[in-house]
């Protein structure tokens, strides 16, 4: 047999489209030709595969003309994952391996020069696609746990070397299918809200944000606990469902990040304020996920918000509304999930002490205006909760009493989210009609809200944000619908709107 076909998959973002490695041996001038839109790392596989076959004890057909085609031809091929299927294809085409042994199999893995198998990124999307196709998966042993996360219905065959794979296919030494004895447990400790002293309004806003999935910004002088509060948000959010945990793990897999320590935990991403737009939303010549996708189903924390480039901040506006990011290039197009909660922190002025009773602000009015103008109105409109975090008096800082624990707050958050699940979506994601129906505003409430909106000059988007926050406040109390006290508290969380408009 001079023709062999081996099934594998490419990696295109979170997708794993099927690829057939076609190997043909023919008479003619000896050589190896690789076609099918391979990038540099795939082209170099020719030398890796040649050395791996020889060092593993197999014959490389040096006297034949070898043609390798990675089909479909118009699909870009990247990375070292094609080494193993290319090697198996050459062995099958040269008669060292029966072609029938490759039926019902898919494989991926990078080869070392001695024939050992090395891990490749993006194994979880590949494993999920292989499971959907109803085939078995041969994978490097270092990737076995990640592939097994795809769950029942997928046979994962881990191997340490090319020789081990061939021995299995020849039925000489079978590979035992790999199974996880139990779902991996996250080992990263969660920060507890009990560590935060004072700041009752900020703690309340954090609870509301967790209950309704709202975006949140803290504004206050340095050292008032803004970052500390933000880092406690994942600890009061509900645990991830199995499907959500898989979605989070798939993004990390594509980026080549470890999964074990973070399985089932809400992501908490904290990029530096020097991050570029591509680092935040993803991109590059071959678009990769950015911080907003790595924060999928979790929290994206932007500290020192006005220090970010305004252009960088503006690219967040669309993902905050849609929950995904669409990256389009001349020859590539990717969609990545980006359903995250935005939490930000900022100082009120360049020196940070505007309104601080302890230290006098040294900034001029024009400096303060330029600093605050780095945040656009449309971006602030998308942030439901805007809370000032004042400096604590010394007696509260030195007090030995602890605040309420994350476990106690999480219990209330879970109860509020259970009420929202009956509506079909979190309050932050309710559509206009569903939101109006849930709030069920009376005529006098509508008139009162219209008067408040006029006085505060809030936009239509800000009005709907107020409704969503008020509905979450009602859910936390177990009330059937929001009442005027809930609306008053919700409007009170639009503090930066009034500050930046000089009200």
CATH of the domain at 95: 3.30.230.10
- CA dist., res. 430 & res. 241, Å (int): 20
Specify which residues 70 forms β-bridges with: 21
pLDDT for position 258: 82
131 and 55 both lie in a single domain: yes
- CA nearest 91: which of 180, 15, 30, 2? 2
199 and 162 both lie in a single domain: no
Helix (H) / strand (E) element for 164: namely: helix 162-169
The dihedral over CA atoms of 346, 347, 348, 352, expressed in degrees to the nearest 10, equals: -170
333 and 207 both lie in a single domain: yes
161 and 254 both lie in a single domain: no
154 and 212 both lie in a single domain: no
pLDDT per 10-residue tile (average), the chain, 503 residues: 91 93 92 92 94 94 93 92 97 94 96 96 95 96 92 93 96 92 66 83 94 94 89 92 91 86 84 93 84 95 93 91 85 86 93 84 89 85 90 72 86 94 90 87 89 83 90 93 92 73 44
157 and 210 both lie in a single domain: no
pLDDT for position 186: 60
Residue 180 lies in a domain: no
50 and 145 both lie in a single domain: yes
Question: How many CB atoms within 10 Å of residue 47?
Answer: 11
Q: Are strands 18-26 and 3-9 parallel, antiparallel or unpaired?
A: antiparallel
Residue 360 lies in a domain: yes
3-class DSSP state of 411: helix
Residue 485 lies in a domain: yes
Which pTM value belongs to this model? 0.88
- CA dist., res. 20 & res. 70, Å (int): 6
Domain end residue (candidates: 169, 203, 236): 169
Residue 183 lies in a domain: no
200 and 302 both lie in a single domain: yes
pLDDT for position 501: 47
- CA dist., res. 426 & res. 237, Å (int): 13
Domain end residue (candidates: 169, 201, 230): 169
pLDDT for position 503: 41
Residue 174 lies in a domain: no
Name the residue range of residue 137's domain. 3-169
148 and 46 both lie in a single domain: yes
């Amino acid at each position: 047999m001079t023709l062999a076909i081996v099934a594998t998959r490419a990696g295109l973002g979170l997708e794993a489209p099927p690829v057939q490695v076609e190997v043909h041996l023919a008479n003619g001038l000896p050589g190896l030709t690789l076609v099918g839109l391979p990038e540099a790392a795939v082209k170099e596989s020719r030398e890796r595969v040649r050395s791996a076959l020889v060092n593993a004890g197999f014959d490389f057909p040096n006297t034949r003309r070898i043609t390798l085609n990675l089909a479909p031809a118009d699909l870009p091929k990247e990375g070292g994952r094609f080494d193993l299927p290319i090697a198996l294809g050459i062995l099958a085409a040269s008669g060292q391996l029966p072609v029938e042994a490759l039926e019902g199999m898919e494989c991926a893995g990078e080869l070392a020069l001695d024939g050992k198998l090395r891990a490749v990124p993006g194994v979880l999307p590949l494993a999920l696609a292989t499971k959907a196709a109803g085939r078995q998966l041969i994978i490097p042993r270092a990737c076995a746990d990640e592939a097994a996360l795809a769950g029942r219905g997928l046979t994962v065959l881990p191997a340490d070397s090319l020789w081990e794979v061939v021995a299995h296919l020849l039925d000489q030494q079978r590979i035992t299918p790999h199974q996880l004895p139990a779902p991996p447990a996250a080992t990263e400790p969660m920060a507890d809200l009990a560590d935060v002293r004072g700041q009752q309004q900020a703690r309340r806003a954090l609870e509301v944000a967790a209950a309704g999935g709202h975006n949140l910004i803290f504004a206050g002088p340095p050292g008032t606990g803004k970052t500390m509060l933000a880092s406690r948000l994942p600890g009061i959010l509900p645990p991830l469902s199995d499907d959500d945990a898989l979605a989070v793990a798939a993004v990390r897999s594509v980026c080549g990040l470890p999964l074990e320590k973070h399985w089932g935990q809400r992501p908490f991403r904290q990029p530096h304020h020097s991050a570029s737009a591509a680092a935040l939303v993803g991109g590059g010549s071959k678009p990769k996920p950015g911080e907003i996708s790595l924060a999928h189903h979790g929290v994206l924390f932007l500290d020192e918000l006005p220090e970010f480039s305004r252009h960088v901040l503006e690219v967040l506006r669309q993902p905050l509304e849609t929950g995904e990011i669409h990256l389009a290039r001349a020859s590539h197009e990717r969609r990545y999930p980006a359903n995250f909660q935005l939490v930000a922190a900022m100082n009120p002025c360049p020196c940070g002490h505007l309104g601080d009773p302890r230290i006098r602000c040294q900034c001029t009015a024009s400096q303060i205006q330029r600093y605050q103008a780095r945040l656009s109105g449309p971006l602030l409109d998308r942030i439901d909760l805007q809370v000032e975090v004042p400096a604590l008096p010394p007696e509260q800082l030195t007090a030995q009493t602890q605040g309420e624990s994350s476990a106690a707050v999480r219990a209330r958050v879970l109860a509020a989210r259970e009420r929202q699940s009956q509506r079909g979506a979190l309050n932050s994601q309710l559509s206009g009609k569903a939101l109006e129906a849930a709030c069920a505003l009376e005529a006098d409430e509508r008139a009162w809200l219209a008067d408040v909106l006029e006085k505060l000059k809030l936009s239509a988007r800000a009005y709907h944000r107020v409704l969503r926050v008020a509905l979450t406040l009602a859910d936390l109390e177990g009330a059937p619908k929001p009442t005027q006290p809930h609306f008053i508290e919700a409007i009170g969380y639009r503090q930066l709107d009034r500050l930046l408009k000089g009200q």
